[in-house]
């Protein structure tokens, strides 16, 4: 039998410690969740990317890049985008898990 790991899907790759470290995986999952909430908040407000761009001062292509995760925002950019959506960022202790449900 071969000792090679089966790497066929992205999930296989992503969960292979030899390729993506646990720390990286955790950070990437964090970013996915963060951006997901950002998108959810915008759509819940019924805002288009262009409208949010107008309100936040962040240009529409930049917002599109963030939402499609082609860029990692700086905290000031994230703040500008979240604010018109009624959200902000906070530092919280790890494992506190006070997940914010946007569908209140």
Residues that bind a second copy (CB under 8 A): 23, 26-27, 30-31, 34, 37-38, 41, 57, 72-76, 78-80, 82-83, 86-94, 98, 100
Q: What angle do CA 5, 10, 13 make, to 5 degrees?
A: 35
Closest CB to DNA among residues 70, 96: 70
Q: Are 52 and 42 in contact (CB under 8 A)?
A: yes
- In angstroms, the CA 95 to CA 75 distance is 22
What six digits make up the tokens of 84? 């018109």
Residue 91 beta carbon to DNA: minimum distance, rounded to whole angstroms: 16
Residues in contact with DNA by the rule CB under 7 A: 48-51, 57-62, 64-68, 70-74, 77
The site partner of 61 among DNA, a second copy, none (C-beta below 5 to 8 Å per kind) is DNA
Closest CB to a second copy among residues 6, 97: 97
């Amino acid at each position: 039998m071969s000792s090679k790991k089966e790497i066929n899907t992205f999930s296989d790759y992503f969960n292979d410690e030899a390729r993506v470290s646990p720390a990286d995986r955790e950070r990437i999952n964090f970013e996915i969740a963060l951006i997901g909430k950002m998108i959810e908040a915008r759509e819940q407000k019924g805002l288009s990317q262009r409208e949010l761009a107008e309100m936040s001062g962040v240009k529409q292509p930049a917002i599109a890049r963030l939402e499609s995760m082609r860029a990692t925002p700086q905290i000031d950019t994230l703040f500008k985008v979240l604010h018109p959506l009624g959200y902000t960022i906070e530092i919280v202790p790890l494992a506190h898990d006070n997940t914010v449900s946007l569908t209140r």
